[in-house]
């Protein structure tokens, strides 16, 4: 929008920008679980490498679109490709580590994207200064250059990425004897099995899927990510417009002011992930960060001073992005087998459903932040605040429930998640 794409492709008319933003999430939601099945079938390197490479090539193609309708089609395909990336990475990481080792790993992985969101603004600004080159405006070169980088990373991932631990003994392009020896793989699998009893994949069938879906937690965790990502995507797509149109900063300043909140969020995210794993908690952190988000949004929306409102951006962006890996870890810690034969099926489905919930949050953000409400987006801000209040209430109720169930298990009155010794993380 700021770089001229809106004017050239006429996405500024009506709610076209909202539609272009929203349509991505439709295929993103639909392809989450099928992509996790493909990840298991083809292996991490092949599948994630393919997604990354195709993603980059499509981004390059977006630099050549001539109408907003073509851009819309590209966004549909883009959603289908990106659907496999986040749930696939979470599923893969979770297969390697125990429940109190994962959040800092989830956070480290997510940090890359959050840090990139900030730093890419400097790259985007640098590209916009070149003006028109080879008959193409600067915004087209943004897509082309970022697409080339993404495709190169995808190719690299296809070469070096390590598969699930039960497959890590297989030879690769560089590792002729595999990443792990059979003895090392057995140690990794034994650690995970002791922790949550789902180290080894089982055959996929309708019964195991339906049994997994009968667990209420399978539905609540995606709803929590929905509430959080409504705010995340709101800032991802609309923060430049808010900085430029509502706070009054110049186009140049908008690019550079976009960087510090995301760099700060990346550091914040990893620090919280490390502390949460060390203290073995999830819920209290989500609650505190949601309250910080509410404060940040209130300052952004209702403070009169531009500097104060920009400080609110730090609070809101930091809290929402840090809650992403925290919710990942929250789900990962509190799910185990629904039956003796539904361990990894349940986890693969749970991861996909979690990201589907997050994708629905992106759709909600597109509708909550309407073009007609620009540049302040007060209705959208109020919606984001409401989503965080709901998060605080639900996680507080979970805290009470999990604590109660753990006490029953300690007294020998219950076996949690069909796994002896399992305890919920509140």
Give dist(CA 411, CA 391) in Å, integer: 30
Q: Could you identify the residue written with the tokens 């073509």?
A: 70
Percent of the chain surpassing pLDDT 90? 60
Reported confidence tier of residue 224, pLDDT bands at 50, 70, 90: very high
Give per-residue pLDDT as tens, 188-221.
999 998 888 777 777 777 888 888 888 999 999 9
Which domains occur in the chain, in start order? 5-418 (1.20.1250.20)
Of 24-33, 149-158, 193-202, the least confident = 193-202
Q: Is 179 exposed, middle or buried (0-12, 13-18, 19+ CB in 10 A)?
A: middle
Beta bridge partners of 133: 136
Please confirm whether the linkage preceding 288 is cis (ω < 30° from 0).
no
Show the 3-state SS of the chain: CCCCHHHHHCCCCCCHHHHHHHHHHHHHHHCHHHHHHHHHHHCHHHHHHHHHHHHHHHHHHHCCCCCHHHHHHHHHHHHHHHCCHHHHHHHHHHHHCCCCCHHHHHHHHHHHHHHHHHHHHHHHHHHHCCCCECCECHHHHHHHHHHHHHHHHHHHHHHHCCCCHHHCCCCCCCCCCCCCCHHHHHHHHHHHHHHHCCCCCCCCCHHHHHHHHCCCHHHHHHHHHHHHHHHHHHHHHHHHHHHHHHCCCCHHHHHHHCHHHHHHHHHHHHHHHHHHHHHCCCHHHHHHHHHHHHHHHHHHHHCCCHHHHHHHHHHHHHHHHHHHHHHHHHHHHCCCCCCCCCHHHHHHHHHHHHHHHHHHHHHHHHHHCCHHHCCCCHHHHHHHHHHHHHHHHHHHHHHHHHHHHHHHHHCCCCCHHHCCCCCCCC
Q: Is the pLDDT of residue 121 over 90?
A: no
Give per-residue pLDDT as tens, 352-374.
999 999 999 988 988 888 777 87
Of the candidates 93, 149, 100, which has an alpha carbon nearest to the alpha carbon of residue 334? 100
Reported confidence tier of residue 7, pLDDT bands at 50, 70, 90: confident
Mean pLDDT across 112-130: 81
Q: Is the pLDDT of residue 137 over 90?
A: no
Q: Which residue has the higher pLDDT, 399 or 117?
A: 399
Reported confidence tier of residue 2, pLDDT bands at 50, 70, 90: very low
Q: Is 132 exposed, middle or buried (0-12, 13-18, 19+ CB in 10 A)?
A: exposed
Q: Is the pLDDT of residue 27 over 50?
A: yes
Mean pLDDT across 378-393: 95
User: pTM (2 decimals)?
Assistant: 0.89
Give dist(CA 42, CA 47) in Å, integer: 6
Give per-residue pLDDT as tens, 232-255.
988 887 788 788 887 888 877 888
Provide the mean pLDDT of the chain: 89
Reported confidence tier of residue 337, pLDDT bands at 50, 70, 90: low
Mean pLDDT across 54-59: 96
Confidence (pLDDT) at 381: 92
Q: Is the pLDDT of residue 128 over 90?
A: no
The answer to whether 192 and 198 have CB atoms below 8 angstroms apart is yes
Give per-residue pLDDT as tens, 293-328.
999 999 998 998 889 999 999 999 999 999 999 999
């Amino acid at each position: 929008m700021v770089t001229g794409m809106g004017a050239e492709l006429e996405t500024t008319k009506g709610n076209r920008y909202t539609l272009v933003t929203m349509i991505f999430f439709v295929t993103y939601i639909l392809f989450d679980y099928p992509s996790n099945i493909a990840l298991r079938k083809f292996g991490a390197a092949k599948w994630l490498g393919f997604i990354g490479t195709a993603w980059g090539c499509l981004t390059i193609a977006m630099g050549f679109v001539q109408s907003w309708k073509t851009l819309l089609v590209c966004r549909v395909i883009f959603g289908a490709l990106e659907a496999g990336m986040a749930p696939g990475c979470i599923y893969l990481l979770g297969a390697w580590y125990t429940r109190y080792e994962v959040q800092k790993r989830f956070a480290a992985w997510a940090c890359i994207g959050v840090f990139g969101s900030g730093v890419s603004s400097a790259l985007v600004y640098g590209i916009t200064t070149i003006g028109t080159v080879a008959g193409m405006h600067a915004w087209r070169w943004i897509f082309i250059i970022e697409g080339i980088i993404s495709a190169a990373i995808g190719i690299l991932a296809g070469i070096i990425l390590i598969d699930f631990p039960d497959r890590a003994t297989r030879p690769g392009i560089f590792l002729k004897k595999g990443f792990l020896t059979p003895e090392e793989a057995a140690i990794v699998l034994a650690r995970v099995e002791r922790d949550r009893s789902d180290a080894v994949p089982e055959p996929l069938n309708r019964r195991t899927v339906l049994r997994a879906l009968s667990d209420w937690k399978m539905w609540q965790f995606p709803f929590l990510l929905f509430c959080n990502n409504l705010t995340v995507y709101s800032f991802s797509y609309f923060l430049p417009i808010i900085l430029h149109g509502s706070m009054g900063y110049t186009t140049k300043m908008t690019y550079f002011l976009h960087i510090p909140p995301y760099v700060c969020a990346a550091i914040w995210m990893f620090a919280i992930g490390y502390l949460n794993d060390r203290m073995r908690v999830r819920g209290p952190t989500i609650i505190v960060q949601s309250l910080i988000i509410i404060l940040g949004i209130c300052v952004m929306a209702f403070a009169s001073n531009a500097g104060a409102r920009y400080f609110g951006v730090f609070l809101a962006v930091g809290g929402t992005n840090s809650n992403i890996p925290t919710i990942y870890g929250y789900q990962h810690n509190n799910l185990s087998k629904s039956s003796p034969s539904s361990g990894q099926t349940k986890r693969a489905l749970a991861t996909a459903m979690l990201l589907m919930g997050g994708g629905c949050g992106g759709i909600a953000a597109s509708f909550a932040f309407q073009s007609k409400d620009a540049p302040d987006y007060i209705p959208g801000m109020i919606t984001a605040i409401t989503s965080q209040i709901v998060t605080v209430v639900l996680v507080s109720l979970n805290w009470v429930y999990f604590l109660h169930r753990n006490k029953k298990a300690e007294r020998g009155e219950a076996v949690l998640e069909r796994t002896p010794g399992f305890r919920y993380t509140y």
